[in-house]
Structure 1
């Protein structure tokens, strides 16, 4: 063999070795990603397009709009929905990029977003924006799903809108028809009843109390199907304090939220809170909230399959904290080693 032929042969062998090494690395990465489930939830505080914010702001209502009204409130004495600039959207997009590139979230449950067009201002490359609830009100619930992740929209859990002014849930399935299949329900529950028993004569607690049996039925249906599932979103409730109270003897009139859902009736109806035992992580330097109302509740059967479970809250970057962001930042729960 000539010197030139020998050099060519060595080059071909080196290129082949490099390709095999890259293929092996890609295979390992794919296997690792297939072995994990990474979920997040983010309330984005009245996320609208600038055009819609201006138009709706010009004819705002003195009270909170109903579900069938595409309108904004301008209630005297209360803060108005934010008017954001392009720089504000860019700052929010930095957090969405972290969810994509660092967290590698499979899906992000979104609250207070006026549909996919509004969400696209923040969730730009690498996301499918879909399964938003059929609601005229700008505070919609929906999902940002990692591009390439198979999913199916299951329709709205419309029964959560108990009075025509509360919010339906968004129901999707990730990886349908595979061993990785998981059912997700995104929620934004009634605000105002953050702790204490639900049987108080206080309007927000009475509304939330009506929503709990709807959620419990959804959980029980998933358990009977034998499916992995999670409920994620803004519960407007300090779920860590719910353990102080029993669920109550009547499922239609619960005393609390978490224990009513996680009651092992039917057998297997048990949930794991992402925030359980977690210390407070502020969204920004001026965040004074000490507890979590955003959470991710995972079926115990799914959680038990994971070799490792990790919770985090994705604080806003210091350089973005001067912008009009949101009064919430993303909560993340990662389950790894699911294939063990």
Structure 2
């Protein structure tokens, strides 16, 4: 048999390699280029120095995410200080708040911008309003992956907590459950990433239960403690999470969860970098 023909037959018989992407989320804690005197900023906010942006940019390069869900970022100009716009396209919620959700996506990936999940902002006219969800669809090797970046209400981290903050969080949870139900009806692969401001010690947590009732979910960081800014007592429970649904649950690469911790350990650096560390997983899409 002709050697060229044999090589072509062997190539045709070889299994196709599924595309793999790195999916990450990072709350960068009031990342803005506004001066500290800006009235829209909290009075006690520690301003970042030029070197802090350089440190964050170094960590972003090390993270090397294909798709990065962002929280607490003041739009594309601020994002471009730590993520190279030659490599990434930016997508942010269409609002004027400083603490916005968004995405940075590698330019080699095709993105469809969906309407913001506006309903998550239950107090749109407040000085520090709640955050909309940023909703995009990314095409990976011909497969579509629907993604939602969220930053939910603070002040209700535990199931035992009560009060107005918890009422607000449960309202947001109901809105998220509706978004999940829509994806389930479509049969779409999807993920919700971001700062839920909620610990999920068990699947029976009321917030997580409500979301799982809308569609079965895989929490990529389930059963793992968060080493971000850990001390002698060890890691802490996560409040940022990556939830996978639909076919995306089967795309999760086993043992691919990573948390990028900062080399800087001084307490002051928690405000100059972020009190959150980026977390990531890999998806083998196919």
TM-score, scaled relative to structure 2: 0.84
Q: Distance in 2 between matches of 1:314 and 1:306?
A: 19
Q: Distance in 2 between matches of 1:208 and 1:286?
A: 32
| 3-state SS of 1:112 partner | strand
Whole-angstrom CA distance in 2 between matches of 1:133 and 1:35? 28
User: What is the root-mean-square deviation of aligned Cα atoms in Å?
Assistant: 2.7
Bigger Rg, structure 1 or 2: 1
Unaligned runs of 5+ in 1: 1-23, 61-70, 75-79, 246-255
Which residue matches 1:148?
108
Residue 145 (structure 2) aligns with: 182
More deviation in 299-308 or 271-280? 299-308
Structure 1 residue 259 and structure 2 residue 221: aligned?
Answer: no
Distance in structure 2 (CA, Å) of the matches to 1:305 and 1:119: 28
The number of equivalent residue pairs is 267
Q: State the Cα deviation string for residues 38-93 of structure 1 (Å, max 9, x = none).
A: 211000010011xx13341xxx3xxxxxxxxxx1122xxxxx22211111000011
Q: Secondary structure at the match of 1:156?
A: coil
Q: What is the SS of the residue equivalent to 2:116?
A: strand
Contact 1:283–1:314 at 8 Å: present in 2 too? no
CA distance in 2, matches of 1:191, 1:137: 16
Superposition map of 1:14-25 within 5 A? none
Task: Indicate whether 1:196 and 2:159 are aligned.
Answer: yes
| Deviation, structure 1 residue 186 | 0.2
Q: Partner residue of 1:19?
A: none
Quote the Cα distance in structure 1 between the aligned partners of 2:86 and 2:236.
Answer: 33
Runs (5+) with no aligned partner, structure 2: 1-10
> Partners in 1 of 2:237 and 2:247 — Cα distance?
26
For residues 173-203 of structure 1, what are the alpha-carbon distances to aligned partners after superposition, in whole Å with 9 as ceiling and x for unaligned? Answer: 0017x632100000000001001157x3x11
Q: TM-score, normalised by structure 1?
A: 0.72
User: Of Structure 1 and Structure 2, which has the larger fraction of its residues in helix?
Assistant: 1
Matched, 1:316 2:262: yes
- Contact conserved, 1:282 with 1:288, CA < 8 A, in 2? no
SS at 1:131's partner residue? strand
Alignment equivalent of 1:226, drawn from 168, 187, 191: 187
1:278, distance to aligned residue in structure 2 (A) = 1.5
What residue in structure 1 maps to residue 3 of structure 2?
Answer: none
Q: Which of 41, 44, 54 is the aligned partner of 1:72?
A: 41
Shift of 1:319: 8.9
Give the Cα separation in 2 of the matches to 1:270 and 1:237: 19
Deviations 1:89-112 (A, max 9, x none): 000111100122xxxx22111111
Contact 1:131 1:155 in 2 (8 A): no
Aligned ranges 1:1-340 → 2 under 5 Å = 35-49=19-33, 52-56=34-38, 60=39, 71-74=40-43, 80-100=44-64, 105-124=65-84, 126-164=86-124, 165-175=129-139, 179-196=142-159, 200=162, 202-241=163-202, 243-245=203-205, 256-263=206-213, 265=214, 269-283=215-229, 290-306=236-252, 308-318=254-264, 323=269, 324-336=272-284, 338-339=285-286
Instruction: Kindly state the Cα deviation for residue 238 of structure 1 after the two structures are TM-superposed.
Output: 0.4
Q: Give the C-alpha shift of residue 124 in structure 1.
A: 2.0
> C-alpha separation between the residues in 2 aligned to 1:260 and 1:319?
37
